[in-house]
Amino acid sequence: MTRAIASLKKQVAALTAQIKPPNSLAARLDTLTDQQRTQYDRYSERMSAFIARNDIDEDGNPGNAYAMTLRGYGPQLPARINKALFGEMPTLPLNASDEQAAQMWLNEVTR
């Protein structure tokens, strides 16, 4: 019986890894504390409401909510939650050469 349970646990772990790859947003959401998850859920609800209210512009064109968020409007993900989910925001020194900037970007996306 113990062997069967161990086998089932292994199968569940394999399925979970396929559904939630280790670096996926779904897997990272599972690492949030209860308080952080509550804050994230509140942000998600506010963002959904913002999109519902603003997605169609006055001319009837869709995508307005996205354009508004790019301009800094709409709910903001709390900084602590952003950091917990996505890590430190990468920075690029102003005096970096194109080659240095490319290498820094490559290092960032492959970590």
pLDDT tens-digit series, residues 56-83: 988 988 989 999 999 999 999 999 999 9
- Examine the pLDDT at 50 and tell me if it is beyond 80: yes
- DSSP track, 6-72: HHHHHHHHHHHHHHS-TTSHHHHHHTS-HHHHHHHHHHHHHHHHHHHHHSS-TTS-S-HHHHHHHTT
Over residues 11-38, the pLDDT tens digits come to: 887 887 778 888 889 899 999 999 999 9
Q: pTM for the full model? A: 0.70
